[in-house]
Structure 1
Amino acid sequence: MALEMDSVPSLVLSVLAILVTLIFLMSTSKKKNSINRSSNKKLPPGEMGLPWIGETLEFHKAQRSNRLLEDFIQPRMTKHGNIFKTRLMGSPTVLVSGAEANKFFLSNEFKLVVSSWPSSSVQLMGTDCIMQKQGERHRCIRGAIASSLSCTGLEALVPKICSSIDKHLSKDWHGRDTVSLYPSVKKLSFSIVLECLLGIDVEPGMLEMFEGVVEGAFAAPVNLPGCRFWRAKKARLEIEKKLVGVVRRKREEMEQKVRREEERRLLSGLVLGLMKGEMSEKEVVDNVVLLVFAAHDTTSFAIAMICRMLALHPNCHSRLVEEHVEIAGSKRPGENLTLEDTKKMKYTWQVARESMRMFPPIFGSFRKAIVDIEYEGFTIPKGWKVLWTAYGTHYDSQCFPEPLHFNPSRFEEPIPPYAFVPFGGGPRLCAGYQLAKLNILLFLHFMVTHYDWSLLHKDETITADPLPFPSQGMPIKIAPKQPCK
């Protein structure tokens, strides 16, 4: 009996060895077949790095230090050109740069490429969210979101956003002489997307739950207790439980024809699609989760970087303040801003665009080739990933002369298509782009007309984990000033 028991581990090890060998042989066979299929095709230049790992470690190191352009992209572009191959997170990947590359790949979504996010992101954002949908299903969900952000929808949003900003400043800024700008704006942006856009009340702890999910969005999908991804999945389940309850209550209200102001908001539009059988409950929940992430994290970083550049360029700040003083002076006491007022904030939007050019809220995104793609004399094999980056054009001197120089006036003239891509482009252009614009313009109006302010740390570093953020929260010194008349 002892002999039999002792032989069990040996048997298990033998079986495992056989399985590993079979997997290795199958993998080798697939690689050989792939090589044979590509043998007559000219692949882009570049190095694939170590097996499976490739150049992932170098990529993540550069991304975390917010030096993706300087430490990863530029050295390889200098060596190989605007298109080169590498291996990232286990996948052969072709990185492309330039406005023409952006246009080619982003406009050929669903034809040549499809969105391809890491497994951890897909599981945490939701398998039924819009970023996972293709073709007609993508258009259907995008249409439901876009309808709430039409001109009529945006006009209705402006006073709601103004009210949220006013309340936030009164609660979090009033009576203080210093404020950590980034976390403050993040809290505000979170409440704007939930309360103003979706009509969902913000409950204590909700922001922290969403933050917990974001932390695992690009982590290794290892669902073991204590791991970052495991913690993020746990937070995702808590969020999902809350949102399912919200969606079901909203459906019940709408079925009972309880007329409320919130019915014009995005959540009601999604629930209406659920009631008509056009969307599932999971699709509604997953898209709400994605919208919250997409709308508050990137907008918060954009506002922080705009304020940083204004502080570093006093002349730009003075000109921007003049624009807002003039708009405020045209309003009667207690009169709200309107959508038409935001259209007068032309210089402010130039400053915002130039700041997002230099500090894009997203570095780019991955696509997957669904056919063999011929581009620039090279073949990108079916199944390979394609990574386009905002940095690849935002710092291109052909599109933006003197790209390291902060110059908002460059946006007085039309920008070449697909050269400026902080919100992506093509069929997957960020659906919340107009909401982000409103949030930015209206917050800056309240900030510069209500407060004098200055940065406490002008050389604060920017890091990323996984999205970019100022490492010290961007503390600012504030002092209230008399309302403009």
Structure 2
Amino acid sequence: MAVDMSFVLSLVISLIVISMIMCFFRKNKTISTKSKNKLPPGEMGLPWIGETFEFYKAQRNNQLYEAFVQPRSRTYGNIFKTRLMGSPTVVVSGAEANKFFLSNEFKLVVSSWPSASVQLMGANCIMEKQGDHHRLVRRVIASSLNCTSHETLVSKICSSVEFHLDTNWHGRDTISLFRSTKMLTFTIVFECLLGIKVETGMFEMFERVLEGVFALPVGIPGSNFSRAKKARLQIQKMLLNIVRKKKKEMEESHEGGEDGVLLSRLVTSLTRGEITEEEVVDNAVLLVFAVHDTTSFAIVMVCRMLAHHPRCYAQLLQEHREILDSKETNEPLTLEDTKRMKYTWQVARESMRLFPPIFGSFRKATVDIDYEGFTIPKGWKVLWTTYGSHYDSQYFSDPLRFDPSRFEDPLPPYVYVPFGGGPRVCAGYQLAKLNILIFLHFMVTKYNWSLIYPDEPITVDPLPFPYHGMPIKISPKMS
């Protein structure tokens, strides 16, 4: 069949014209959309990968703010776009950003964690729940951490701390402070809060899970995520057996279980049909990770700051000596005693300002959000950081200087956010506070101690920790 070249030429020209017209309208539509919905400035980087490698590198070196956020903020301002872990992401900084995004949880944004974190923490924990069901489960958890439960918790924590020091510190001249406090806070969450006895191997199982929470969710045998997933299944099986046993005991005794013990309260909600077995297990797992690792890091950073600032240490020690002097020999600490540890808590808060246990967290826009003259499209991630306000000279003069007196007066809301804020503020905040105060009381009154590596670097994998585990020299104080 003969080919009509004039027809072919006309067809090609027509296609070119149509393409040019389509491009023109697409371009004009894009310009119109952008003028109406102006995206924040910034670089998206490579497709899918974006700036993920730069983000991870900065995080691992504990330089997420200094090496990743701050340079971009200097160029673009306190709101900029990037692409992290496959998702277009807007990074925001400052107290106003904290307030806007944290207080608008469930309205404009929802919690959005990486896939690996969700799989390992559990898809049925409050981290993933929204709205009324989130509030229901949160109330159950908070009921074991309210004011009426604090006195009982203080007594239990004191017993755990004293037993830990007698078992793991007595007769030794050096210890790894970070590992020691991790084991202690792990035990406190399980035994004092949940009412579950810690058995051999449990700590190691949870440590394996932690190694994979920010890993690529690829089940390659031998990978961090694969090992973590295997350990998570072991934990699931173990906790399910404990939950079912507890449920049977409570049903047979027709009692509500031990007052103030979180597992009893969760199982009570289970028997009422308010939550499922999976929710009981997943929330127990989440609480362990939310409290024990972050609290142990906070404790070792307090000790680091005290070692570097002897005058602060002397003032803190005096506070605890006065508490001891006001009590009879071997008289236990009370909740009122912890309320007298005001300077100690100022020291702890200033340490957590400089070394926050978490760098921030991710949210996902559920609608198009207008903020600071820009539009954050629905489905995009939002990352807020603790450093953005903690290092802000508007609120903290000479922000890199250690100064506990900053916390003598109240701060504006959402400036200081080591435990987050809004509807998702850390449910274990009060437990962490009691852990820190009580441990420091026994440590400084019972032991002389000093850092072996005064300037030990801090690294992140996946949460921050001292590179050498913060070994310290210890010797018991004479009574």
Is 1:321 matched up with 2:334? Answer: no
* 2:191 equivalent in structure 1: 195
Report the counterpart of residue 4 of structure 2 in structure 1: none
3-state SS of paired residue (2:361): strand
2:381 maps to: 385
User: TM-score normalized by structure 2?
Assistant: 0.93
* 1:428 equivalenced with 2:428 (yes/no): no
**Matching residue of 1:213:** 209
The aligned residue for residue 73 of structure 1 is: 69
Question: How far apart, CA to CA, are the structure 1 residues paired with 2:201 and 2:139?
Answer: 31
Match of 1:153 among 149, 163, 172: 149
Match of 1:413 among 409, 414, 419: 409
Partner AA of 1:77 in structure 2: S
| Deviation of 1:263 (Å) | 4.5
Is 2:163 aligned against 1:167?
Answer: yes
Contact 2:143 2:260 in 1 (8 A): no
Asked if structure 1 preserves the Cα contact closer than 8 Å seen for 2:258 and 2:264, the reply is yes
Change (3 A) 1:456 1:372: same
Matched AA of 1:437: K
The answer to whether the 8 A contact 1:38-1:381 is kept is no
Query: 1:155: how far off?
Result: 1.1
Looking at structure 2, the residues matched to 290 and 59 of structure 1 have their Cα atoms a distance apart, in angstroms, of 25
Q: Output the CA distance in 1 between the equivalents of 2:292 and 2:120.
A: 16
Q: Does 1:104 align with 2:97?
A: no
Which residue of structure 1 lines up, in the alignment, with residue 182 of structure 2?
Answer: 186
Give the AA of the match of 2:302: I
* Distance change >3 Å, CA 336–CA 259, structure 1 → 2: farther
Cα displacement string for residues 387-412 of structure 1 (whole angstroms, at most 9, x for unaligned residues): 00001111010011110100000000
Identify the residue that residue 474 of structure 1 maps to in structure 2.
Answer: 470
Post-superposition shift, 1:123?
0.4
Match 1:443 to one of 439, 444, 456: 439
| SS of the residue 1:367 aligns to | strand
SS in 1 for 2:317: helix
Which runs of at least 4 in structure 1 moved beyond 2 Å after TM superposition?
Answer: 34-40, 258-264
- Which runs of no fewer than 5 residues in structure 2 stay unpaired? 1-25
1:428 CA drift (Å): 0.2
Within the alignment, does 1:132 sit opposite 2:128 as a pair? yes
Distance of 2:273 and 2:253 partners within structure 1: 18
Quick check: 1:309 aligned with 2:296?
no
Q: Secondary structure at the match of 1:278?
A: coil
> C-alpha root-mean-square deviation of aligned residues, in Å?
1.6
Secondary structure of 2:253 counterpart: coil
What amino acid does structure 2 have at the position aligned with 1:227? S
Residue matched to 1:462: 458
Amino acid at match of 2:451: L
How many residues were matched structurally? 453
1:349 corresponds in structure 2 to 345
The answer to whether the 8 A contact 2:459-2:467 is kept is yes
Aligned to 1:86: 82
* CA distance in 2 between partners of 1:464 and 1:247 (Å): 33
SS where residue 130 of structure 1 aligns? coil
Contact 2:256-2:264 at 8 Å conserved across structures: no
Q: How far apart are residue 260 of structure 1 and its match?
A: 9.1
Deviation at 1:261, TM superposition (A): 7.1
Contact 1:390–1:420 (CA<8 Å) still a contact in 2? yes
Q: Distance in 2 between matches of 1:114 and 1:38?
A: 25
Distance 2:134 2:323 in 1: 39
Change (3 A) 1:426 1:434: same
Q: Identify if the C-alpha distance between structure 1 residues 397 and 152 changes in structure 2 by more than 3 Å, giving closer, same or farther.
A: same
- Displacement of 1:330 in angstroms is 1.1
Q: Tell me which amino acid in the other structure corresponds to 2:313.
A: H
Q: What is the percentage of aligned positions where both structures have the same residue?
A: 70
Q: Secondary structure at the match of 1:114?
A: strand
Hey, what does 1:294 align to over in structure 2? 290
1:257-300 deviations in Å (ceiling 9; x for gaps): 27697453000000000011111000000000000111100000
2:250 touches 2:256 (CA, 8 Å); kept in 1?
Answer: no
Q: Which has the larger radius of gyration?
A: 2
Instruction: State the Cα deviation string for residues 290-332 of structure 1 (Å, max 9, x = none).
Output: 0011110000000000000000000000000000000111111
Structure-2 separation of matches of 1:366 and 1:115? 6
Q: Measure the CA separation in 2 of the matches of 1:263 and 1:272.
A: 11
Q: Which residue is equivalent to 1:61?
A: 57
Per the alignment, do residues 444 and 377 of structure 1 end up closer, same or farther by CA in structure 2, a change over 3 Å counting? same
Deviation at 1:212, TM superposition (A): 0.5
Deviation digits for residues 181-222 of structure 1, max 9, x if unmatched? 000000000000000000101011101100100100000010
Matching residue of 2:246:
250
Q: Describe the SS at the equivalent of 2:191.
A: helix
Aligned-partner SS, 1:361: coil
8 Å Cα contact 2:41-2:80 kept in structure 1: yes
Aligned partners of 1:258, 1:301: CA distance in 2, in Å? 41
Query: Would you say the 8 A contact 2:257–2:264 is kept in 1?
Result: no
Alpha-carbon offset, residue 413 of structure 1 = 1.1
TM-score, normalised to structure 1, is: 0.91
Q: Which moved more, 1:414-423 or 1:258-267?
A: 258-267
**Paired residue type of 1:117:** W
**For residues 406-465 of structure 1, what are the alpha-carbon distances to aligned partners after superposition, in whole Å with 9 as ceiling and x for unaligned?**
000000011111010000000000000000000000000000000111111011000000
Residues 160 and 406 (structure 1), Cα distance of their counterparts in 2 relative to 1, 3 Å cut: same
The residue number in structure 2 matching 1:119 is 115
Tell me the CA shift for residue 41 of structure 1.
1.1
Runs of 5+ unmatched residues, structure 1: 1-30
Deviations 1:152-193 (A, max 9, x none): 111111010000000000000001111110000000000000
Shift of 1:227: 1.6
Contact 2:61 2:459 in 1 (8 A): yes
CA contact (8 A) 2:125 2:282 kept: yes
**How do 1:390-409 and structure 2 match up within 5 A?**
390-409=386-405
Change (3 A) 1:450 1:260: farther
